[in-house]
Amino acid sequence: MRVFEILLVVFNILLLGWILFAKNKTQRGLFTLFGISAIIMLVHGVIEGMRWPMIPAYVLTAVALLLFVIRSKSKSDKAKGQSTRKRSTVKLIFVTLLTVIYSAVVVALPLMLPVFTFEKPRGPYKIGTVTYDWKDNSREEVLTPDPNDKRELMVQVWYPADAQAKGKVGVYHSDIKVFAEGYSKVFHVPKMLFTSIGYVKTHAIENAEISNAEATYPVLLFSHGLTGNKMQNTYQVEQLVSHGYIVVGIDHTYSSTASVFPDGRVAPLIQEENKSIADLDHANEQWVGDAKFVLNQVERLAANDPDQRFTGRMDMNHVGMFGHSFGGATSVQMLMTDSRIKAGLNMDGILYGQRRIPEEGLSKPFLMMSADSTVEYIHTSTDGPIDMKKEVLPRFDNITKGGNYWMILNKIRHGSFTDFVLFTPVFQLMQGSDIREIHDLISDYSQDFFDHYLKKKPFRLLEQKIGEHPDFTILHDQI
């Protein structure tokens, strides 16, 4: 809950308690307290913005007024006899019970559907961001029936910003109605449960000046998971950017939660029915094509940005890629097929794609991060359209070959790698661990990996933590 939300809820609950239990209540005192409540609600609405989970809190003042009237009437009737006094006592108990239940709802709703915040980035850089709409006229859009459609992608770039940068701070989602609809499809719950996300802000300043602290910055591509979106790992992206990286996030159109184009067009989520591992391998080729196209566009920006922001500022000799789930699989495929990608990170992605990791391992630096629950699922699942143990498990045989790393995080789930678990405490309880600590762990080891291979810095964590630990295990084959 936000500051004025907490203040409003606490004040009104105390107000109800005063009405129910305090003696010698005056009409003047009542109006004074109601006035304070109204002022708090007004300030909350102006500064923070009103949202539907707070509706019970908004009407609490009216409920308190009603209870005061009932209480006053009961007090005036107490001389009517013993039976009347008994009825008045029962009424008071009943009203008190209803008030307690109502107050619990007032507190629970905004807590269960919070306006969550991202941790302040720990690096020395502020964060700037800019968004692009890029169309690949060489590729048809295979997910729409129109044969004239070309593949069009929304891409967001985060970059180290000037220390004096000021401006509008970007929101997490620019069109919450569209994304609430998409999340409703993904999680199979009413879209109204996601509207509070529209108030979430990031730390990125829109169109900020790029920092001159370094001549150039390494570039990282980010690919989301199926049904995810380019914003889904903001906690991780912001930490990386604050430590001197330019991150390029790709929305894989029609496979993302939603894509909103500058002219207002919306590409909704199309949930394809991939019946076999061959279907998923084939579908991944489109994502690889997206990544290659975006990297081509980034090279053009680095050479000649029309806005002059990135011209000569992107270190295209040190490019990495990371992704979650299907985007993690895409990162592995790009690592194997695109010479421009120097290092790759796969976060809990099944190794879908047309190419297998060779027996000698990848010839480039690679870090695999997995949830222990996912590893167990791959080892044991034989039901469903894909026999994981038979068809998928062998693809993991050579992950660490050639000196690479496999980090298995304990007591977490597939979604733990994303922001989605911040949406509600219900999701966080399902993880079984402190999600903020998990996110810090993922961000720290991601940065350590890329710092070593793209910035040539000594390892701080990865190499020193090989083996089993309470929160994770790192597997590593020496070259």
DSSP state of 20: H
Question: pLDDT tens, 261-309?
Answer: 999 999 999 987 777 999 999 999 999 999 999 999 999 999 999 999 9
Q: How many degrees, rounded to 5, is the angle at CA 309 between CA 344 and CA 209?
A: 100
Tens-place pLDDT, residues 218-254: 999 999 999 999 999 999 999 999 999 999 999 999 9
Tokens of 199: 């108030």
What is the average per-residue pLDDT within 7-15?
90
- Quick one: average pLDDT of 414-430? 92
Q: What is the mean pLDDT of the chain?
A: 91
pLDDT one-digit tens code per residue, 53-76: 999 999 877 765 665 566 555 555
Give the pLDDT confidence of 309-319 residue by residue, as tens digits: 999 999 999 99
Gap between the Cα atoms of 201 and 197, Å rounded: 9
59 closest CA partner among 16, 23, 91: 16
Q: What is the pLDDT of residues 139-163, one digit of tens each?
A: 999 999 888 999 999 999 999 999 9
pLDDT at 49 over 60: yes
What is the Cα Rg of the chain in Å?
27
Query: 358-400: per-residue pLDDT in tens?
Result: 999 999 999 999 999 999 999 998 888 899 999 999 999 999 9
Our CA angle for 42, 48, 54, nearest 5°, is: 75
Report the distance separating Cα 473 and Cα 469, nearest Å. 6
* Residue 284 pLDDT: 96
pLDDT of residue 79: 44
Instruction: Give the contacts of 478 (CB within 8 A, at least 6 positions apart).
Output: 403
pLDDT at 156: 98
pTM recorded for the entire structure: 0.91
Q: Which two tokens stand for residue 477?
A: 């084959």
Integer Cα distance of 68 and 72 in angstroms: 6
Name the residue among 362, 315, 359, 371 with its Cα closest to residue 343: 362
Which ranges in 135-257 belong to alpha helices (H)? 176-187, 234-242
pLDDT of residue 72: 56
As a whole number, mean pLDDT of residues 27-38 equals: 83
pLDDT band at 87 (very low <50, low <70, confident <90, very high): low
Share of the chain above pLDDT 90, in %: 79
Residue whose entry in the numeric block shows the structure tokens 């009104």: 12
In this model, does residue 80 exceed pLDDT 50?
A: no
More confident residue, 23 or 235: 235
Question: E strands of 162-235, at which residues?
Answer: 169-171, 201-206, 217-223
pLDDT-based confidence at 421, cuts 50/70/90? very high
φ, ψ dihedrals at 434, nearest 5°: -70, 110
pLDDT band at 78 (very low <50, low <70, confident <90, very high): very low
Asked if 251 contacts 232 with a C-beta cutoff of 8 angstroms, the reply is no
Question: Taking phi first (over 0 means left), then psi (-120 to 50 degrees means alpha), and beta for anything else, what does residue 264 get?
Answer: left
